[in-house]
Amino acid sequence: MTDTQYQYIDGEWIEGDSDDEMTVRNPAVPDDPLATFPRADREQARNAVNVATEASETWEETTPDERDSLLYDVADLIDDNVDELAQTLTKEEGKAISSSRGEVSRAAEIFRFFASYARTATGETIPSSDPDTFTYTIREPLGTVALVTPWNFPIATPSWKLATALVTGNTVVFKPSSQTPMIAKRLVELLELAGIPDGVVNLVVGSGSTVGDELTMNDGIDGVSFTGSTGVGRQIAQAAADRGIPIQTEMGGKNPQVVLPDADIEDAADAAIGGAFGLTGQACTATSRLIAHEDVVDELTDAVVERAESLSIGPGMDDPDMGPAVSEEQDETNFDYIDIAKEEGATLLTGGTRPDGLESGYYIEPTVFTDVTSDMRIAQEEVFGPVLSIMEASDFDGAIKMANDVEFGLSSSVFTADMASARRFANAIEAGVVKINGTTTGSQIQMPFGGMKASSSETQKEMGQTAYEFYTHEKAVYRTDP
């Protein structure tokens, strides 16, 4: 295998057939490309679907024991290669090496957690109204699923989709982000090494508008799980709805952290910093709005600005607090939104420029705006970069109203010492994840994950105890014995 073979179809590593080349860049050193290779074309995506469809007949017959031991082996292989995988991830995506290590280890944990589904993702027996009829449900795989993923958690997100799809007996065509094909390839190489049969997992690396589009439109695809932007997710959801197949879309966020007057301000400031600037703000659950009660807004603002100014910035391999933005496109988006916020009348408190001495990569200082109001674009639109907007509320109800006054509804947080206020917040907030005295970012594998409103199709949560439901048909069986 040479390093231009990024397509894995029917157990073979091959080159993409399109005339179009993909160049992978290290966002810390963009002038020095990491890899260049031809993208897959539509025909290869079609071929991958055909192969996966054929493989599904034998794969769905495998026993729970076979499936879970394979997934446990994948987990072990990931663990055995943590350092190398983390380096690949950091070079390609830019995040700090300790974050990459954490993500890679989490991918192993994800495979282990979902391996357990092999024996527990069961149907039910249900009391029957007719004594002569036995009523129960069974779960069957959908068949062949397309998995389309973004770049920001480029091993964890594919892992939770792959593990859930495979353990429930589905075959897969996986299309990773064009920003992060190298880590995707390494993950599939480990699946191959663990002994995944030919055709069960196929990787096509190509552009969203050709290969991604083919995967959502192809008649051989029985379900699509997508994570990415709301614009693309909605487009895919529409195509899937036309074809009548299950679709799961987890999309953007504009996540609020609300700070009430009785909160521990130091803790609230630490959480806002971690949530807004950790992973360079490139998390779907990143904190982008800090909504503070007027009694504590000044103290909180000072604490946040002081901390933001002390963060270290640099290449991910140096393990800074903040690495570069992933790409030139994201870099431009970050600076565009800083201009937009200034034009709208928000006050820049800190950041907003490229740090001195880091002119060559896609770096930006942690940026904090205040005097932000809900009618501003900076309060409404996802930046996906390290830009935090501070907003002031005069009471609890005003804070909730402000928090909910966006199209998104992914994650949220409240800081308060009063558990009655916390409970009211959890009930009133329009978000799929609610943190009480914690950052909007971060989640546990065994908890359901997903958003509301424009953040999610809300078809089935990923992670948690019932994520397998998306990847299965449920049949209700009535058995009357002759």
Structure tokens at 295: 């009694």
Contact at 8 Å (CB) between 290 and 388?
yes
**Which is nearer to ligand NAP, 196 or 284 (by Cβ)?**
284
The upper half-sphere exposure of residue 185, i.e. CA atoms within 13 Å in the direction of its Cβ, equals 24
Quick check: 212 binds ligand NAP (CB under 6 A)? yes
Q: Considering the complex, what minimum distance in angstroms separates the CB of residue 247 from ligand NAP? A: 11
Residue located via tokens 């609610």: 434
Residue type at position 191: L
Structure tokens at 9: 């179809």
Candidate list 208, 355, 442, 448; residue touching ligand NAP; CB under 6 A: 208
Ramachandran angles phi, psi of 229, nearest 5° = -75, 155
Quick check: 92 binds ligand NAP (CB under 6 A)? no
Q: Which stretch binds ligand NAP (CB under 6 A): 27-35, 96-104, 212-220, 264-272?
A: 212-220
Ramachandran angles phi, psi of 392, nearest 5° = -115, 135
Site string for ligand NAP, 373-402 (x = CB under 6 A): ---------x-x------------------
CA dist 156 and 164 (Å) reads 12
Angle made by CA atoms 278, 283, 286, in degrees to the nearest 5:
70
The upper half-sphere exposure of residue 398, i.e. CA atoms within 13 Å in the direction of its Cβ, equals 13
Angle made by CA atoms 207, 220, 75, in degrees to the nearest 5:
70
Site string for ligand NAP, 337-376 (x = CB under 6 A): ----------------------------------------
Total residues in contact with ligand NAP, by rule CB under 6 A: 31
Q: Considering the complex, what minimum distance in angstroms separates the CB of residue 90 from ligand NAP? A: 17
Quick check: 232 binds ligand NAP (CB under 6 A)? yes
Task: Report the candidate in 445, 479, 442, 437 with the shortest Cα–Cα distance to residue 462.
Answer: 445
CA dist 168 and 59 (Å) reads 10
Q: Which stretch binds ligand NAP (CB under 6 A): 95-103, 230-238, 309-317, 358-366?
A: 230-238
CA dist 341 and 260 (Å) reads 25
Structure tokens at 208: 């969203």
Radius of gyration of the chain (CA): 23
Quick check: 228 binds ligand NAP (CB under 6 A)? yes
Q: Considering the complex, what minimum distance in angstroms separates the CB of residue 21 from ligand NAP? A: 13
Q: Which stretch binds ligand NAP (CB under 6 A): 129-137, 223-231, 291-299, 412-420?
A: 223-231
Quick check: 324 binds ligand NAP (CB under 6 A)? no
Site string for ligand NAP, 282-311 (x = CB under 6 A): --x---------------------------
Query: Which of 284, 290, 388, 454 is flagged as catalytic?
Result: 284
Structure tokens at 144: 């062949």
Q: Which stretch binds ligand NAP (CB under 6 A): 107-115, 172-180, 361-369, 390-398?
A: 172-180
Q: Which stretch binds ligand NAP (CB under 6 A): 27-35, 107-115, 129-137, 208-216?
A: 208-216
Angle made by CA atoms 255, 146, 149, in degrees to the nearest 5:
35
Q: Does the annotation mark 284 as catalytic?
A: yes
Q: Which residues lie near ligand NAP (CB under 6 A)?
A: 148-152, 175-178, 207-209, 212-213, 216, 227-229, 232, 235-236, 250-253, 284, 382, 384, 410, 451, 455
Q: Which residues are catalytic?
A: 284
